[in-house]
Structure 1
Amino acid sequence: MVKIIHGFINYPHLTQKWKAFDKETYSAMILIKKEEATDDINDLILDGAEIDEKYKDFYIMNASSIYEILLYDRNLNQINATDICSGDECNFKVSIKEWNYCNKTGKKAYLQAIQKLSSGIEISTVDFISYEDEELPFS
């Protein structure tokens, strides 16, 4: 089954393959607003609140591919992987396949293409602690 999913990208590995479980893949975490999730992807999503408070309004889906992923802008012009950043609003074309391995079954989302719709939301922030110069241990 091929499906178009609307959401936000987080932790994209699109410029080079990422090694996990002895496989090298391109991958991305897809954040789907809870009110936009459909029942046919329930087996593929996690409740973001269980991962981190900052994801409480989202379901999380991981998708990957051993092949280079097609990347497009809003007008369907091809773009580079460096044009897509965490937090960007995107449409994701995924192929959902069932798997069976060692008497276990499940579903996996294979990422085929991404269409960047807009530069995105701020997903996470880093809190910086300010110190006076005399408080720094290396000064």
Structure 2
Amino acid sequence: MFESIKRDLSFIQGLLEGDLNHQHHVEYRGLSRLADVVDLLVESVEQLERRLTELEEYVETIDEDLNELELLCYEDDDELDEWEHEIEVTCPECGEDVTIDEDDLDDDNVELLCPKCHTVLDIEEIEEDEIEDVINEDGERK
């Protein structure tokens, strides 16, 4: 892209320099100065584009390194996050421990069934002392 602009600009500058009869006119000086300004702008934009390309490559490298670091640091935490929002409730009929998602306690449309006796667990009757966290202090599932 820049090569064709530079080529066209050189052509215009050549035309201006070849017209010796009109070099003393104001229009000639104005066009000559305008061609010089356009040349400076093209050089500046070309330099900015080179810098932008370098910065994009640099940011991509940093992003890849950061992704690798996150995988190293947070790999174990992702496994724990799965279980953090699950709780255990004891079935009032058979005493079976039922693991449920904590979000299901807030949803009135969800029916929780005991897997052993198929009793419908009433969410409203579940008290805080019946609920046990599935994650113990070591971060492991009970």
TM range (shorter): under 0.3
Q: Could you say which structure has the higher strand fraction?
A: 1
TM-score, structure 1 as length reference: 0.21
Task: Give 1 or 2: higher helix fraction.
Answer: 2
- Higher relative contact order (CA closer than 8 Å, sequence separation 6+): 1
